[in-house]
Structure 1
Amino acid sequence: MLKPLRICACLLAAVLLSGMFPCQAAAVSTSATSAILMDVDSGRVLYEQNADAKMLIASTTKILTALVAIEEGDLSATVKVSREAAYTEGSSMYLKEGETVTLETLLYGLLLCSGNDAAVAVAEGVSGSVDKFVDQMNEKAKALGMNHSSFANPNGLDDEKHYSTARDMAILACAAVENETLVRIASTLQITIGGRTMTNHNKLLSYIDGCIGLKTGYTMAAGRTLVSCVERNGQRLVAVTLQDGNDWADHQALYEYGFAAYPISRAAVLGQPLETAEVLGGAEDTVPLVAAESFAWPLAEGEKLTTEVELDQPLTAPLSAGTRVGEAVFRLNGKEVGRVDLLCGAGVAPRLEPALHQLHLALPE
């Protein structure tokens, strides 16, 4: 048995050590069969669990349906509801055969009510048939780099040819949140449009500050599926959980972990000086180099970006402000993670003395 004095010494050592090493964000885990947490702007994966397993995805499919429809269709266009659409099984916005609805109304029914009927009506309205629309979905998925996904319908009903992975769905979500129209619809809590009042099924909009959507899903075979996005302090993260009976809590935990463990670090700000460079033959010896665009990267505690300037050629006066002269390359642990163009932050005239000397040489004696 430890003596009281030794116990006190151990406790004191623990207290001192805790002061020396700041608390790090606690590790996270989920109840999901497959899950991922990704930073939107960098694409960096902050957490993953079985993220490349091919899974049924249920109604999270409708993120892709909405994205294709918004890009290819006209929100104000009207769609006549077919019998096939009106009698589609599963969740519904309660369309009636023969009624006329705008594409925008259908998209609210798709993303808020998770209407399988809306998905079919959207597909028929945009592409003329479900089959043609599904072809467009698969083309879009391929273009986004969703290399382990296949889509057989616009609503997510179970099909052996309809599947994705948590990683692919995160890639889709990152693309979807760049579409302002999709975000506007997916983040709406409730709306009355086209004579219908619709309420969003996504409880995270109320549970998590900064949540901007995206989509819930469920079938008996797929279980509960959820894709969401949260924005805080200019940083956006997307979370995906597939076959997760505790998805609301898991998404909350993933975001608390992600924002705490991987805060965004801004390495370059549009229009702000990033480095200085030597100028040959100039009235000024150096010129500030400003970033042509902003660059940020999520960093864990102890990580640091390094910046290397790569000039196209040595800088020689005269130089005009705004001229592109090279790039700043950002690396993490020696691996390149991004680069931005560098511009002259000021004009630099030639040095006066050499210029007068050249003029003197050109004059007759």
Structure 2
Amino acid sequence: MTSIQKKVLLFLFLFLYSFPSSSEALPSVTADAVILIDADTGEILYERASMEPRPPASTTKIVTAILGYEMGDPEEETIVSQRAGTTGEASIHLFPGEKVTLGDLLTGALIRSGNDACVAIAEHLAGSEEFFTLWMTTKARLLGARSSQFYNPHGLPHKKHHSSAYDLAVIAYYAIQNPSFAATVKQKYGHLDHREGWPREIRSTNRLLWNYPYADGIKTGTTRAAGACLVASATKEDRHLIAVVLHSDDRVGDTMRLFEYGFALEAGK
């Protein structure tokens, strides 16, 4: 290689690396499937594998809550069935025969991710989990979430139960328009004031609420198959964003980086 060729190569190297590549400007995200949308316009600001069907874990409960708020009265009282009271994993510790209002069930499902609360909601509104899940899938499809299929109201593993990052963003965009839903998911602590059992104060599973000042919801989810998931909302001044991360190694950090990226983009428009 001649000295002139070496100088040309050195010039090209310095020229190319004096500017940041477009990939360097993108958020560093560990999740397998990601989407970030402008919640006012619906514009997709960033995505990766967002249409891929994946297990959604407890982010499923967003759909359960939508139906609960739209089809029931929070003051309605129901009696917890044996099936609901013995549903495993995440729980608000309902017991069979306990009387509880639909409003407390919705709070318990969204804030503490109570699987037992979700079964009680389904049975109260539809008579059975099985029939309720038909409503869930139908509602999701009507909203434009066409990859989603629900076989339970809580998101515990089922081989045919799936959604996608895109679908969950569409569902969250719709859900957050409901004032009761929005008021519930932004709470760090919730109160179950009309139940007979314990606990009456519950703490949100969404650590983003403590770690990001603009966060105002929405729902976590975790199973072995789904990994750590988060559907999140954040509002800064007059800008509102929704982010979804599925199977993440750092769901809070991923989501914060997505929001910071999105708000910087929006500010530059």
TM-score using structure 2 length: 0.88
4+ residue runs of structure 1 moved beyond 4 angstroms?
none
> Which residue does the alignment assign to 1:143?
142
> Which residue does the alignment assign to 1:205?
209
Q: Secondary structure at the match of 2:221?
A: strand
Q: Distance in 2 between matches of 1:191 and 1:62?
A: 16
Higher helix share: 2
> Which residue does the alignment assign to 1:75?
74
The question of whether the paired residues in 1 share the 8 Å contact of 2:239 and 2:266 is answered with: no
> Which residue does the alignment assign to 2:243?
239
Q: Distance in 2 between matches of 1:80 and 1:185?
A: 23
The question of whether the paired residues in 2 share the 8 Å contact of 1:166 and 1:242 is answered with: yes
- Residues 26-45 of structure 1, C-alpha deviation per residue, up to 9 Å, x if partnerless? 32131011000011111100
- Residues 222-274 of structure 1, C-alpha deviation per residue, up to 9 Å, x if partnerless? 111110000111111000000001111000000000000123xxxxxxxxxxx
- AA matched with 1:173: A
> Which residue does the alignment assign to 1:41?
40
Q: Distance in 2 between matches of 1:227 and 1:37?
A: 10
> Which residue does the alignment assign to 1:65?
64
- AA matched with 2:75: S
> Which residue does the alignment assign to 1:255?
259
Q: How does 1:139-178 map to 2 (within 5 A)?
A: 139-178=138-177
> Which residue does the alignment assign to 2:85?
86
User: How far 1:191 moved relative to its partner?
Assistant: 2.6
* Residue 219, structure 1, aligned to residue 262, structure 2: no
The question of whether the paired residues in 2 share the 8 Å contact of 1:35 and 1:49 is answered with: yes
- AA matched with 2:35: I
- Residues 121-175 of structure 1, C-alpha deviation per residue, up to 9 Å, x if partnerless? 0111111111121111111101100011101110001112210110010001100
User: How far 1:79 moved relative to its partner?
Assistant: 1.1
Q: Distance in 2 between matches of 1:198 and 1:81?
A: 19
> Which residue does the alignment assign to 1:111?
110
Q: Which has the higher contact order (CA 8 A, sep 6+)?
A: 2
Q: Distance in 1 between matches of 2:150 and 2:240?
A: 27
The question of whether the paired residues in 1 share the 8 Å contact of 2:111 and 2:190 is answered with: no
Runs (5+) with no aligned partner, structure 2: 1-10
User: How far 1:204 moved relative to its partner?
Assistant: 0.8
Q: How does 1:275-290 map to 2 (within 5 A)?
A: none
User: How far 1:192 moved relative to its partner?
Assistant: 2.6
Q: Secondary structure at the match of 2:104?
A: helix
The question of whether the paired residues in 2 share the 8 Å contact of 1:46 and 1:262 is answered with: no
- AA matched with 1:135: L
Q: Secondary structure at the match of 1:243?
A: strand
User: How far 1:190 moved relative to its partner?
Assistant: 1.0
Q: Secondary structure at the match of 2:25?
A: coil
Q: Distance in 2 between matches of 1:70 and 1:61?
A: 15
Q: Secondary structure at the match of 2:65?
A: helix
- AA matched with 2:62: I
Higher strand share: 1
The number of residue pairs the alignment matches comes to 249
Q: Distance in 1 between matches of 2:91 and 2:139?
A: 25
> Which residue does the alignment assign to 2:132?
133
> Which residue does the alignment assign to 2:5?
none
TM-score using structure 1 length: 0.65
Aligned-residue Cα RMSD (Å) equals: 2.1
The question of whether the paired residues in 1 share the 8 Å contact of 2:228 and 2:248 is answered with: yes
Q: Distance in 2 between matches of 1:54 and 1:132?
A: 23
Q: Distance in 2 between matches of 1:88 and 1:33?
A: 29
The question of whether the paired residues in 1 share the 8 Å contact of 2:35 and 2:166 is answered with: yes
> Which residue does the alignment assign to 1:356?
none
Structure with higher Rg: it is: 1
Runs (5+) with no aligned partner, structure 1: 1-9, 264-299, 302-365
User: How far 1:193 moved relative to its partner?
Assistant: 2.4
